[in-house]
Amino acid sequence: MATSMQVEVVSAEREIFSGEATMLVATGIAGDLGIMPNHTPLLTQLKPGDVRVFTESGEEQVIYVSGGILEVTPKVVTVLSDTALRAEDLDEAAALETQKRAQQALADKKADIEWAKARVELAQAAAQLAAIRKLKSRG
């Protein structure tokens, strides 16, 4: 019977922990969980809180996660940590924000001016180039 298990803690932006451990304690959505080697396969959501990993050498690693998913398979225990606190209404607000921005960008006349400005600059640059070419042919 195995006395240790492979534990991987990752977030979308980076890998946080990877190594052997004898136990992992996390805050599941239905309550605290302790995972030991040979735990039955499990998939659960995590609440914001600490994930504590006990390594083979008896050290304890404490990793704060702002929610996420815990997967237990016969070989590997994986914690997929969220990168931020997630709540349905927060996401909703962010979504509304981006929609508003899109509408603004579509209605925005200032962007048209920028477009015109860019074209003027381009014309100037082209004229300069033409002048240089003329100078060159004269020499």
Partner 1 sequence: MSGAKEIRGKIKSVQNTQKITKAMEMVAASKMRKAKDRMLAARPYAEKIRSVVAHMARANLEYRHPFTVERDVKRVGYIVVTSDRGLCGGLNTNLLRALVRDAADWDSKGTEIDIATIGSKAVGFLRRYGANVVSDVSHLGDHPNMVDLLGAIKVMLDAYMVGKIDRLYLASNEFVNTMTQAPVFKQVLPIERVEADADILPTHWDYLYEPESKVVLDTVLKRYVESQIYQGVVENFACEQSARMVAMKAATDNAGGLIDDLEMVYNKARQSAITQEISEIVGGAAAV
Find out whether 54 and 37 touch, Cβ atoms under 8 Å.
Answer: no
Q: Does 28 bind partner 1 (CB under 8 A)?
A: yes
* Binders of partner 1 in range 63-92 (CB under 8 A): 69, 71-75, 78, 80, 82-84, 86, 91-92
Kindly indicate which of the ranges 22-30, 47-55, 56-64 contains the residues binding partner 1, using the contact rule CB under 8 A. Answer: 22-30
| Residues sharing a CB contact under 8 Å with residue 111, sequence separation 6 or more, in sequence order | 105
- C-alpha to C-alpha distance for 95 and 92, rounded to whole angstroms: 5
- C-alpha to C-alpha distance for 49 and 75, rounded to whole angstroms: 24
Q: Which is nearer to partner 1, 94 or 127 (CB)?
A: 94
Find out whether 34 and 55 touch, Cβ atoms under 8 Å.
Answer: no
- C-alpha to C-alpha distance for 9 and 51, rounded to whole angstroms: 9
Find out whether 10 and 82 touch, Cβ atoms under 8 Å.
Answer: no
In the list 3, 50, 96, 122, the residue contacting partner 1 (rule: CB under 8 A) is 96
Kindly indicate which of the ranges 5-13, 19-27, 49-57 contains the residues binding partner 1, using the contact rule CB under 8 A. Answer: 5-13
Q: Which is nearer to partner 1, 39 or 58 (CB)?
A: 39
Binding residues for partner 1, rule: CB under 8 A, are: 8, 10-15, 18, 28-30, 40-45, 69, 71-75, 78, 80, 82-84, 86, 91-99, 101-102, 105-106, 111, 115, 132, 135-136, 138-139
